[in-house]
Amino acid sequence: MKHSPLRKYVLTKENKDYDKLSEISLCWAKASIENKLSYEIDWLGIPVIQSPEDLILVQQVIYNVAPDYVIETGVAHGGSLIFYASILEAIGHGTVIGIDIDIRKHNRQILEKHRLFKRIELIEGDSTSQEVGETVRKKISPRSKVLVCLDSNHYKDHVLKELEIYSNFVGIGSYIVVFDTITSLMSEHGVCDPSYINNGPREAIDVFLQQNQNFRIDGEFNKLFVSYSPDGYLKRIS
Ligand SMILES: C[S@@+](CC[C@H](N)C(=O)[O-])C[C@H]1O[C@@H](n2cnc3c(N)ncnc32)[C@H](O)[C@@H]1O
């Protein structure tokens, strides 16, 4: 991770109160999920279902990687697509490909009218289908720099399939961001559906990393503690 030269010092394990921050962030995660806080924010007018902290972290990844393509599975209203598109617009380069099994007509119409839609392409279909994978492959050249964000169905098997498919597009130095890795832990705490216990994105990452040594968790992105996606930033290292 590149840091701004203006930064006076970088926080490390040694100069943080880890136990306190971990305890408080667990309380925050539970209370914020119970109160549905992630449904409260818009980005440039479109609802985005994320925490502000997670958006700030993805912004750092996008800025550092400067991808040709950001591929996101899970569009919903499209606020995250607009968020990525706004960073790419500021960088002056790149396209967002948004994939969703059900792009509602109303959401599509609003997105298509947005001034940043010029940087967005939509694909409707199951993100784990061969057809959708093939459509994405045809859109990007093998030399393209690609960043992948997984935010669709959060069950382990689905996320694992997405990891297997979309990791093929990610080159050395870029990332797959797996959102909502906190889901199974939150189920254990009774604030997410019990069917996610040991069965969410975090568990998919464990299986994926056993199968694929080209990626590792970049712990740098656990630095804000307040996050729905701890250990969710997978960097391609070889
Ligand atoms: C959590 S929302 C996405 C939120 C969005 N990324 C944001 O930050 O605003 C999850 C989306 O995943 C979509 N989805 C569920 N199963 C899917 C699948 N198999 N393939 C593609 N999209 C799927 C749903 O239709 C829903 O719109």
DSSP 209-229: HHH-TTEEE-GGGGTTS--S-
Ligand 1 pocket, residues with Cβ under 6 angstroms: 48-50, 72-77, 79-80, 99-102, 126-128, 151-153
* Cα–ligand 1 centroid distance for 72 (angstroms): 9
Nearest CA to ligand 1 atom 16: 153
In the reported structure, the alpha carbon of residue 107 is separated from the centroid of ligand 1 by a whole-number distance in angstroms of 13
Say how many domains are in the chain. 1
CATH number, domain of 130, equals 3.40.50.150
- On whether residue 9 sits in a domain, the answer given is no
Q: 10 in a domain, yes or no?
A: no
Asked, for residue 82, whether it belongs to a domain, the answer is yes
Of the candidates 225, 181, 222, 233, the residue with the CA atom closest to the CA atom of residue 203 = 181
73 assigned to some structural domain = yes
Q: What is the pLDDT of residue 34?
A: 95
Note whether residue 96 is domain-resident. Answer: yes
Record the pTM.
0.95
Estimate the crossing angle of helix 130-139 against helix 156-166, to 10 degrees. 30
> 3-class DSSP state for residue 150?
strand
Pocket test for ligand 1, best of 81, 101, 103, 111 (most atoms within 8 A of CB): 101
Q: What is the pLDDT along the chain (238 residues), one digit of tens a residue?
A: 666 666 555 556 666 788 888 899 999 999 999 999 999 999 999 999 999 999 999 999 999 999 999 999 999 999 999 999 999 999 999 999 999 999 999 999 999 999 999 999 999 999 999 999 999 999 999 999 999 999 999 999 999 999 999 999 999 999 999 999 999 999 999 999 999 999 999 999 999 999 999 999 999 999 899 999 999 999 999 9
Candidate from 152, 165, 182 with most ligand 1 atoms within 8 A of CB, to mutate:
152
With the C-alpha atoms ordered 233, 163, 131, 129, is the resulting torsion angle positive or negative? negative
Can you give the pLDDT at residue 10?
57
Range of the domain at 222: 16-236
